[in-house]
Amino acid sequence: CEALVEDLGPQGGIREAVLRVQGRGCLTALAGESGVHRQIQTEKAGKIHTSSATVSVLPEVTGDPAPLAEGDVRVEAFRPAGPGGQAVNRSNSGCRATHLPTGLSASIQEDRSFQVNRRQALQVLARRVQAGAPPQQGGEGRGGAEGQ
């Protein structure tokens, strides 16, 4: 298992993660995991916390993805979240690439260099467009329900 993309949320936890799982029968074994997974935690005081994650299991597209037309992609720079101190707070090194015809997007903030993040975001986006992945809707959300 290899983590390709890991985007941490502002309140902690993982907002989005893309994993590559390799091996014989992986697609068949994980196909049943597609959908929304909910985790419910109950405190001693009776308060209930609910977290959810949407899981998509897709086969990896082999070969290099076809390059996307420049007019079809909007590239935005943003300040990445997470540790890094002053270097993170003063640089717009994160990159979000959006494919305008499909609405698919890829956001990368792993490297300190915007150019490296841009290249990776465009590669991830091209693979998503080539695979025909549905638009990303939220990833992990956090909600809470008060106890009775």
User: pLDDT of 82-136, one tens digit each?
Assistant: 666 666 667 888 899 999 999 999 888 888 888 988 988 888 888 888 877 554 4
Which domain covers residue 136, as residue numbers?
A: 2-145
Q: What is the pTM of this model?
A: 0.53
Q: Burial, 31: exposed, middle or buried (Cβ in 10 Å; 0-12, 13-18, 19+)?
A: exposed
3-state secondary structure of 91: coil
Total domains in the chain come to: 1
Tokens at 124, concatenated: 């991830």
pLDDT digits (tens, 9 = 90+) for 9-61: 777 778 778 888 888 888 888 888 888 889 899 999 999 998 888 888 877 76
Exposed (0-12), middle (13-18) or buried (19+): which is 111, by Cβ within 10 Å?
middle
* Sheet architecture: strand order including 105-108: 73-78, 94-99, 105-108
The CATH number for 6's domain is 3.30.160.20
